[in-house]
Amino acid sequence: MKRFFIILSVMCAASCSVNPFLKEWTGEGGIPPFSEIKYSDYVPAVKAGIEQQEAEIHAIVNNPAAPTFVNTVAAYELSGEILGRTLGVLFNLSESDATDEMMAVIEEVTPIVTEHENNIFMNPGFFQRVKAVYESADTLDREEYMVTKKLYNKFIGNGIALDEASQARFREINTRLAVLSQKFGNNLLAENNAFKEAIGIPVSSYPYFMTTCEDRAKREAAFKAYSSRGNNGNENDNKAVLLEIMKLRTEKAAMLGFDCSADCILEDKMAHDHATVDAFLSRIMEKAVAKAREEVTDMQVFMNKDVEAGLLPEGSRIEPWDWWFYAEKVRKAQYALDESEVSQYFQLDNVRSGVFQAAERLYGIKIEPADIPVYHPEVKAFKVTDADGSLLSWFMTDYLPRSTKRGGAWMTNFREQYVDASGNDVRPIVVNVCNFTQPGDSVGLLTIDEVSTAFHEFGHALHGMLSKCRFKDVSGTSVARDFVETFSQINENWAFQPEILSTYAYHYKTGEVIPDSLVAKINKASRFNQGFMTAELTAASILDMKWHELAKDTDWSNFDVAAFEKKVCEEMGLIDEIIPRYRSTYFNHIFNSGYNAGYYSYLWAEVLDKDAFEYWESKGLYNPKVASKFRKTFLEKGGSEEPMVLYHEFRGADPDPDALIRARGL
């Protein structure tokens, strides 16, 4: 410890005046001083943070006292303060503001941090102390046990039980995987920007474009450009990258004694093994495809009318680039619902207000604008307080697309909730990042799906903001991956409730509240096109699983990505008019975002979500007792208890697996 503090003192004398990561953040809420941070600050801060944490772990390992939760596990939980706050900023901004300078920093930092993590979780002395605490589980409370179990499993999953030569290989694999994952994401960002340049719209506007574009040739061109991202034989091609990722993942799994990487990954998840996931997805896929075939028939009727009108040649059939366009025609005919009409009531700022008001009504919290530092001019900041006025969280929204922002939508933290060494409850700093580009850009109008996304991501945010745990490793959204989407998806259920819509759905020109007749149409049409929506989501989930069910003896040198994908789609029974929501070369979730062998989580969690919502609905949607129970059971407890224990505590029963089928009208 003494050596580190001497080094840090020297570093601070030279650079603390300019490197904000090596100073205490004294502004309100301890918000990162974004305007002070320079690209050149990150690497020195990461190295100083590693030096600090190495010294702290050295002290834990060499503590002459017998291992206890406090002097081993809790001590580790509180270690690495400098590194934690530096990476909290770096990794978040590398996703939402991936400039060339930022990517250069990431490339330098990634192997350094990976090596540091290897050093921690291959440290035999540290492991023996953690193991001793883990084996004395009867002395721990539930949260302490869950934290210890999670830490113990990190050691096991990182090859602590392997021999020296195998550990060396494990280190090589971890470092290479970190680099490859980053490369996959960088390539995809470049491909997304190339798509925008070629087609004239950002990737996030693709569904709206495909729904409204009358020109079939343009739709076909957009579809082919969209579905071939990362598969163009150029410098951003992801085929070789993903194959090397899979080769290394299967090798790691084999070293740990698993037949495939899926079972290695799923061991500590709710599903536990790939056979369980495969059976779960297969049942949904069968029903989704049957429904999708009916939808094709309905759409073909409208295409035939265009053929009769001379707009299309004889024999024209529904193709993948026709689905969105003709589905909208069917929706207008069956439900008299026009997306372009509905979107006029969904102005971005009003939707955000509605998202907030729903949470305020359910959980008794208050959300108001905050004057705190933000990392980009488009970011809006808010302060979240409880009914008694106490601080719950600082919150930011970053809703608009940029060429330096990766596609999609997500929730993240600049700081997790935890209790510090002095017993202070450190409140989190939470962010929702989206890519809302929509009709009427100048006034910020959202589609129905984008409104759902806003509520979805805020469900994650609530999970992070309302956390009342003691340790970072289990606070907020630090739960099993196939459990975490439950809370984001359940929040979507309030998006189109009439009582909530009346608080935010105002016509952007007239200020008129959305009429009841239109609300009825929205909710009546909520099950529309669910064959397509469910099939493309399930297909992506199955594709993910099949990648991770490959064995180590796979012939990677002669592996054909396109042929593999085609075979998987045929075997799952996917119809030709639909492709997986994500094809392999742009499947960022599984090759760069930690959802490997986990994309099924959205559907798995939807069973829990829909079952819980049916229970909630039966008790009253705005029943304060049920809302309070949901908050205290789930949102406050994070990963401090096993998922099904919490679910039973709230629901009083096992989830009904048919709840998803009912909700989607399959």
> Which active-site residues does the annotation give?
457
H-helix segments, 408-548: 448-465, 481-492, 498-501, 516-524, 530-548
Distance CA 476, CA 461 (A): 9
Helix (H, G, I), strand (E, B), or coil: what is residue 573?
A: coil
Residue 587 CA neighbour count, 13 Å, CB half: 33
| Residues in CB range of 133: below 8 A, 6 or more apart | 67, 68, 69, 72, 73, 140, 148
Beta bridge partners of 412: 431
* Residue carrying structure tokens 């491909």: 191
Distance CA 651, CA 389 (A): 30
Between the alpha carbon of residue 339 and those of residues 297, 505, 586, the distances in Å are 22, 14, 27
What are phi and psi for residue 514, nearest 5 degrees? -55, 130
Beta carbons of 599 and 540 less than 8 angstroms apart: yes
Distance CA 275, CA 126 (A): 35
Q: Nearest-5° angle of CA 160, CA 125, CA 128? A: 70
Distance CA 598, CA 545 (A): 8
Dihedral through CA 571, CA 576, CA 579, CA 580, nearest 10?
-20
Residue type, 202: P
User: Can you list the pairs that 655-662 forms with residues at least 24 positions away whose Cβ atoms lie under 8 Å?
Assistant: 655/607, 655/608, 655/611, 655/612, 656/607, 656/611, 656/614, 657/607, 659/607, 659/610, 659/611, 659/614, 660/284, 660/603, 660/606, 660/607, 660/610, 661/284, 661/287, 662/610
Residue 279, classified by CB atoms within 10 Å of its CB into exposed (0-12), middle (13-18) or buried (19+), is exposed
Helices (H) and strands (E) in the chain, counts: 27, 7
| CB atoms near residue 139 (< 10 Å) | 10
Between the alpha carbon of residue 99 and those of residues 35, 94, 102, 403, 513, the distances in Å are 16, 8, 5, 9, 41
| Residues in CB range of 70: below 8 A, 6 or more apart | none
Q: Nearest-5° angle of CA 444, CA 447, CA 449? A: 130
DSSP string, 195-262: HHHHHSS-GGGHHHHHHH---HHHHHHHHHHHHTTT-SSSTT--HHHHHHHHHHHHHHHHHTT-SSHH
Phi-psi region of 528 (alpha: psi -120 to 50; beta: other; left: phi over 0): beta
Among positive and negative, which fits the CA dihedral 493, 427, 386, 378? negative
